[in-house]
Amino acid sequence: MICRFASEASLALRRGNVFPQTPSLSKTQDEGSLRGHPSTGARGGSAAHASGATVAFIAALFMAVPVHAASVGMLGVDVANKSELQLCAEKDNVTLEFKSAAVTQFRIEAAHPAYIDTLQRDNFSADWTACDIKADPGTAGSGIAPPKLPAKTTIYEDVELWVTGYNFGGFWREKAVPFKVGDRTESTFHVVQVWVRANERAEEVLVVYPPDGYWRARPLPPQHLGWSAYGSSFLVGPVEDVAAPGGGTRPIVDLREISFDPKTKTFTLQFVRGGSATLVISKLDRERQRIDVAFDQPITDRPFATLRSMYVTEFNNDVARTAVLEAGAKSWREEPVMAFTGAKAATDVWTGRLVPSRHNTSAPDTVFSAFSDGTKQPPQWRAPWAK
């Protein structure tokens, strides 16, 4: 088990713990970004204040709907727990793999934890206790030069949404993956952020790491905190294990290309192993972000999705528990994440925390559900061509 990022700096960036100050950051808009919390800064200038139509725009685009507790009548999938014991809080040791030879559609939700309204403050600092990151590129003793400060590029911007990419100067897996928006293409991004304007401020709500295919999502922050942390990551597509720095392996999705349509909030992924997928941001509010995923064909020979997170103790984790509903079951099965025994026909899988952790305390729960072969869709499903 090794540190998952190119260097100490890029690891902290990926966790959302530090970010360099740049002239475009607005101190009054989101001063916490300069202190190192997961909300990585807001746009400056007159665009930093939303127009009067902002709230109406967001409400219309991401319409609030009732929560559906279970994927009734949907497919069941195999879930395997490949998690490993770990003392370092900045290494991903939680791994849940999702497999099915039939699935072509499913849904991912990042939802605030049940205790979010009780929080008076958040903990977001990196915890390097018991961590040895010398094997990763860019760290002392690795023999590889440290990365430069991140180079920022805004690849798309309108009044209500913008997309920015960063090159860290070094990453654990150096691969150029073209990222396209309209007629513009950039191939040097290590991370891409999606921002929206909501509630009179700018909010970063989604990130993707093109070189290894990792995603992180979060809802709009709760009003009483003003911002919230990223937590678990997820992979979408044909998941494979590759050699990692310092030995061992780590799971990735090998991407050939990513394109993004800002009008429909749709990502289109092309995979090196063949096939494609779309990820549509179908709902975004102060409770959850919902992403509807569709493949052009089933992924039959390997996991089609994987959750990655970390657990050290009940009080130091990004995910501590699982709840699984299996096809035909009369109730959910709840277990600690490290003791989770897997499932053979899971229709819904919740991962999260029931009590606050000292690490990324406000980070969202993650829910996988609505598995389908394309013959049935859950309520409020957003097809990739939907406007």
Distant-in-sequence contacts of 62-70, Cβ < 8 A, 24+ apart:
62/281, 62/282, 62/283, 62/284, 62/285, 63/283, 64/283, 64/285, 64/287, 65/283, 65/379, 65/380, 67/287, 68/378, 68/379, 70/325, 70/347, 70/348, 70/369
Share of the chain above pLDDT 90, in %: 62
Number of compact structural domains in the chain: 1
**37 domain-assigned:** yes
**273 domain-assigned:** yes
Check pLDDT > 50 for residue 65. no
Q: Please, how many CA atoms are within 13 Å of residue 303, restricted to the half-sphere of its CB?
A: 23
Token pair in block for residue 172 = 């654990």
Least confident of 49-63, 185-199, 201-215, 220-234: 49-63
**341 domain-assigned:** yes
Higher-pLDDT residue of 304, 129: 304
Check pLDDT > 90 for residue 333. yes
Distance CA 249, CA 245 (A): 8
Mean pLDDT of 17-43: 30
Q: Which pLDDT does position 386 carry in this prediction?
A: 54
Distance CA 228, CA 117 (A): 12
**276 domain-assigned:** yes
Residues 257-276 have pLDDT tens digits of 999 999 999 999 999 999 99
Q: Please, how many CA atoms are within 13 Å of residue 276, restricted to the half-sphere of its CB?
A: 11
Check pLDDT > 80 for residue 16. no
Higher-pLDDT residue of 176, 15: 176
Q: Which of 9, 17, 18, 21 is nearest to 170 (CA)?
A: 9
How confident is residue 248, by pLDDT bands cut at 50, 70 and 90? Answer: confident
**380 domain-assigned:** no
| Helix or strand run (H / E) with residue 35 | helix 32-35
**96 domain-assigned:** yes
**312 domain-assigned:** yes
Per the structure, the complete domain to which residue 242 belongs is given by: 8-372
Token pair in block for residue 345 = 């026909």
Check pLDDT > 70 for residue 47. no
Helix (H, G, I), strand (E, B), or coil: what is residue 10? helix
Check pLDDT > 90 for residue 54. no
Higher-pLDDT residue of 43, 19: 19
Name 127's Cβ contacts closer than 8 Å, sequence gap at least 6.
89, 90, 316, 358, 359
Residues 158-206 have pLDDT tens digits of 999 999 999 999 899 999 999 999 999 999 999 999 999 998 899 999 9
Return the residue matching tokens 């990004």. 318
Distance CA 372, CA 380 (A): 14
Number of Cβ atoms within 10 Å of the Cβ of 368: 25
Distance CA 135, CA 217 (A): 28
Return the residue matching tokens 């657990």. 311
Mean pLDDT of 35-42: 28
Token pair in block for residue 133 = 């990151």
Check pLDDT > 60 for residue 49. no
How confident is residue 70, by pLDDT bands cut at 50, 70 and 90? Answer: low
Name 163's Cβ contacts closer than 8 Å, sequence gap at least 6.
154, 155, 156, 157, 181, 192, 193, 194, 195, 260, 262
Mean pLDDT of 293-307: 98
Residues 277-296 have pLDDT tens digits of 999 999 999 999 999 999 99
Token pair in block for residue 217 = 């999502």
- Are the CB atoms for 276 and 269 separated by under 8 Å? yes
Average pLDDT, the chain: 81
**2 domain-assigned:** no
pTM: 0.81
Distance CA 147, CA 138 (A): 6
